[in-house]
Amino acid sequence: MKVLDAKFVQGFIRMCDDGWQQGWHERNGGNLSYRLKEEEVRQVRTALSFDGAWHPIGTSVPGLSGEFFMVTGSGKYFRNVILDPEDSLCLIELDGKGENYRILWGLCHGGRPTSELPSHLMNHEVKKRASKGAHRVIYHAHTTNIIALTFVLPLKSEVFTRELWEMATECPVVFPSGIGVVDWMVPGGREIAVETSKLMEEYDVAVWAHHGMFCSGEDFDQAFGLMHTVEKSAEILVKMLSIRPDKLQTILPEDFRNLAREFKVTLPEKFLYEK
């Protein structure tokens, strides 16, 4: 099978275009990665080239040794993925130690995987373990309203979670474990990868201050839907704050507890503090 004919590749391309259409990926902003299933590797194996050079990841992810990933390329534009996926994307394999990668397909005019590959892979390793293999998608986007809120809300997980939960009733159902927050850090290196992966032990969403959002999901629909829900909640909060600085009414802690019982989700009490 040709790589571009595979269903997972078509889903990857669609998600990139969906993010571009939302306005989350100016220029070469944002990145996406997907951990392939064994049967997906078998589907495209004959179309892959295994004679490429190995390159250091910049970190060690032994829990992902020998795994295959589709990732966006460094410096590539999300708006071009649907037009020329073979230039914009690549399929990579990790070595037996989880310390090096090689390109098996894609980036046909040269290039390398996203500069935030260490963050993606370290978080894939965490989510693979925490979800018992279910999570396969890591997505980073420059979500406008979330970025705006990092300038006016305290950079605390409890505050971001509570404020965004209050904006729409579905929010605590969609992201019941809450949202982690990372203080501003230089992107692309191991340090921000380490801090984000610590949060991903507990959360499926991490906010990068003044930068964007990082989320994990089992498939493309779940990861995109999670990002979309959090960003829409942030948009409501931004609009509310532009009208007046306080709320006349909102969802209260006991309301959240009733919601949790009805929808059979667990909401950590640390987010249900009295204001």
Full pLDDT tens readout for the chain, 275 residues? 899 999 999 999 999 999 999 999 999 999 999 999 999 999 999 999 999 999 999 999 999 999 999 999 999 999 999 999 999 999 999 999 999 999 999 999 999 999 999 999 999 999 999 999 999 999 999 999 999 999 999 999 999 999 999 999 999 999 999 999 999 998 877 888 889 999 999 999 999 999 999 999 999 999 999 999 999 999 999 999 999 989 999 999 999 999 999 999 999 999 999 98
Q: Tens of pLDDT along 178-229? A: 999 999 998 877 888 889 999 999 999 999 999 999 999 999 999 999 999 9
The pLDDT score that the predictor gives to residue 190 is 81
Q: How many angstroms separate the first and last alpha carbons of the chain? A: 57
Count each helix (H run) and each strand (E run) in the chain, helices first: 11, 9
Dihedral sign for Cα atoms in the order 165, 196, 63, 56: positive
Catalytic choice (93, 116, 163, 231): 116
pTM over 0.85: yes
The Cα diameter of the chain in Å comes to: 64
116 is catalytic: yes
d(CA 122, CA 198): 10
